[in-house]
């Protein structure tokens, strides 16, 4: 898979995730066993706003060369790496049900891919 296709996929998936979290946070997060009060719903919507923004960012940089897209790749790596840690904590502490491991696997996979994309490529002369 090319970086362009990968970034397009991340753009679409993150945008869709963001829309779900903004429009129907309780319904979406109930799939993971999360019950929320009004404060939790608002925080989930903020999380959705970031996911929507990350989707737009990924979509916009999909056609850039590696040097130009590096700041966006670093941003997305940090997001998915930190999200992995937080989702592991949420799942092991019982905040999420066992379906939370699905999020953990995807976040770890994406953090790994973004880390790989950040590795400088060797230039041959």
Mean pLDDT of the chain: 91
The answer to the question of residue 109 being in a domain is yes
Whether pLDDT at 20 is above 90: yes
Helix axes 66-92 and 3-23, enclosed angle (nearest 10)? 50
* Dihedral (CA of 28, 34, 38, 43) sign: negative
The answer to the question of residue 80 being in a domain is yes
State the pLDDT at residue 121: 78
List of residues 6+ apart from 66 with CB closer than 8 A: 3, 117, 121
Of 52, 48, 64, nearest to 7 by C-alpha is: 64
Q: Compute the average pLDDT of residues 84-96.
A: 94
State the pLDDT at residue 60: 93
Domain count, the chain: 1
The answer to the question of residue 124 being in a domain is no
Q: How many Cα neighbours within 13 Å face the side chain of 68?
A: 9
State the pLDDT at residue 10: 93
The answer to the question of residue 58 being in a domain is yes
The answer to the question of residue 123 being in a domain is no
pLDDT in tens, 27-84: 999 998 888 899 999 999 999 999 999 999 999 999 988 788 899 999 999 999 999 9
The answer to the question of residue 12 being in a domain is yes
Residue with tokens 């979290």: 21
Domain that holds residue 7: 3-118
Residue with tokens 């790496």: 81
39 touches 20 (CB < 8 A): no
The answer to the question of residue 11 being in a domain is yes
The answer to the question of residue 40 being in a domain is yes
């Amino acid at each position: 898979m090319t970086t362009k296709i990968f970034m397009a996929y991340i753009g679409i998936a993150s945008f869709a995730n963001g829309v779900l979290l903004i429009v129907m946070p309780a319904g979406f997060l109930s799939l993971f066993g999360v019950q929320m009060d009004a404060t939790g719903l608002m925080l989930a919507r903020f999380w959705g706003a970031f996911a929507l923004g990350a989707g737009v960012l990924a979509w916009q940089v999909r056609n850039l060369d590696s040097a130009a897209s590096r700041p966006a790749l670093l941003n997305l790596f940090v997001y998915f790496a930190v999200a992995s840690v937080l989702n592991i904590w949420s799942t092991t502490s019982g905040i999420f049900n066992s379906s939370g491991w699905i999020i953990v696997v995807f976040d770890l996979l994406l953090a790994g891919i973004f880390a790989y994309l950040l590795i400088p490529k060797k230039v041959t002369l």
